[in-house]
Chain A
């Protein structure tokens, strides 16, 4: 559906040149909800704006549907843009028009009669759940309602693609969820292909099936959601994921309160990650039965991504060193990823023992 090939975007002004996007290639399939995450300044907005050529790449090809947009003359480009909806962080509604007026804006000059436009507006309002706000001005709407209007407006010309640039970043968590639900529904009901830019992994986790991670203008990692969440390679990706699963926060908390751990030389701190149905509890039970290793769960988080459960635990494994190693090997044989944490708590525990 969307094919970005070797996209470069370079901004030049008198003083400096900024390579906002460097040699990015992405392929977004029809029906995908494709997330692009990265920190501020990573080049996400610049990249997504190349998809409808709001930002013309310095180099590269932008193929949407059957067209290479780079080759289209202005008039045909405008026609192609009508089939690519876009929503923004700050909604960008016209203050001088009512909700209906905003949604009708892109329908003028498309050959529809007044009555047909009115019907279409009603239909779109129904779709986003705002039928009662038809004649209201945007200034009287909440952020979530404004974004719904913006979505209705973006869908007016029945696009196949919807681009979302930080569409939920100005909204509270609850409203964010309701907008994401709506997008998911549109994806399923209309077969809409969606590209979502965000700096929140939470958003990606909620609705995306594919994700790309951007840093300094480059895509550093890309893949389907579950494999990114379970098998991330890039440190930045890992960082985003651990903020989403809150494993890092949990570890921080444990580090600040060493007494929570109370480790001895027989204990190791580890994180355990598993995917799919092979839930950890029977495995943990057999660790004790087979190796006399006890597992103390300090923190646990289970996500359901694309209907696949993904578990992340922080545990203390206690037992004789050799037995522990066997236990870990046993877990890994069952597709559970174990990483031992080099925790300064260990040192602290040893010291304590020597003193005692």
Chain B
């Protein structure tokens, strides 16, 4: 085994600690971003659905502005976003280097995408069910929490799963310009120093994280769909 590793993965053996740390950094960035972007995305997604012209709290002006803002942010390429957000990151975290600093652009890069995903998930909830709830005298809050979010849960989980996989891709990109994690590892070691075995291991690690996220997502989708 060791012999095999020494022949084919010489650098990996020497860099074991760094690899493990990179994996944790990737998980760290993904986890915290998912938490913040998740909360903001659900908030914005719900706001979009209820303020739409035929939503339960129709506010067409608010909807239009939000809609436009989200579209604008979505069309900025992430790599440019990283640079653009730099000053804000420095203001919030004190630096632009390292996994914690990466969370800021990652959240900004993920929220617009996730808000749309949540909006679409909630729009799948049959309008008739919303109407039935209104006819039963439900308050807007009840309709949001007890109808939209509950009925839309399987779709929201599916959307979250897609978003997290997307996000893991973004962490690699953020890593490459100093965020740390597996992306950084692949670039700094594999690409710049021609340590191809490290690139391969980084790829495998990313794939495993993606598969696990997907598996967990599917499990909960199944569990919540009836």
The distance from the CB of A296 to the nearest CB of chain B, in whole angstroms, is: 52
Q: A78-B139, A94-B151, A96-B153 are in contact. Are A54 and B134 (CB under 8 A)?
A: yes
Chain A residues with CB below 8 A from B80, complex form: none
Contact A81 B151 (CB under 8 A): no
Interface status of B177 (Cβ within 8 A of chain A): no
With a CB–CB cut-off of 8 A, which chain B residues contact A97? 150
A81–B136 touching, CB < 8 Å: yes
A35-59 vs B, Cβ < 8 Å mask (1 yes, 0 no): 0000000000000000010100000
Q: Which A residue sits closest to B132, measured CB to CB? A: A92
CA distance A335 to B138 in the complex (A): 54
- A92-B129 in contact given A52-B135, A78-B137, A105-B146 (Cβ < 8 Å): yes
Q: Does B128 contact A (CB under 8 A)?
A: yes
Q: Out of B132, B135, B226, name the residue touching A84 (CB < 8 Å).
A: B135
CB-defined A-B contacts under 8 Å, sample of 27: A54-B134, A54-B135, A77-B137, A78-B137, A78-B138, A81-B134, A81-B135, A81-B136, A81-B137, A82-B137, A86-B135, A86-B136, A90-B126, A92-B126, A92-B128, A92-B132, A94-B147, A94-B150, A95-B225, A96-B224, A97-B150, A105-B146, A106-B137, A106-B138, A137-B226, A154-B136, A157-B137
When distances are taken between beta carbons in the complex, the residues of chain A under 8 Å from B129 are 92-94
Bound together, the chains give a CA A82 to CA B137 distance in angstroms of 5
- CB within 8 Å of B: which residues of A? 52, 54, 77-82, 84, 86, 88, 90, 92-97, 105-106, 108-109, 137-139, 150, 153-154, 157, 163
In the complex, chain A residues whose CB is within 8 Å of the CB of B224? 96
Q: Which residues of A contact B151 (CB under 8 A)?
A: 94-96
Interface string of B138-159 (1 = CB under 8 A from A): 1100100011001101100000
Complex interface: chain A residues within 8 A of B135 (CB): 52, 54, 81, 84, 86, 163
Q: Does B64 contact A (CB under 8 A)?
A: no
Set of chain B residues within 8 Å of A90, measured between Cβ atoms: 126, 128
Q: Does B18 contact A (CB under 8 A)?
A: no
Q: How far is the CA of A278 from the CA of B218 in the complex (A)?
A: 71
Known: A88-B132, A137-B226. A96 touches B138 (CB 8 A): no
Tally of chain B residues near chain A (CB < 8 A): 22
Taking CB atoms, residues of chain A closer than 8 Å to B147 are: 94
What residues of A have a CB within 8 angstroms of the CB of B142 in the complex? Answer: 108-109
Query: Smallest Cβ distance from B150 to chain A, in angstroms?
Result: 5
In the complex, what distance in Å separates the CA atom of A54 from the CA atom of B143?
Answer: 15
Known: A95-B226, A96-B150, A105-B146. 11 other contacts (CB 8 A): A52-B135, A81-B134, A81-B136, A84-B135, A86-B132, A90-B128, A92-B126, A96-B224, A109-B142, A139-B226, A157-B136
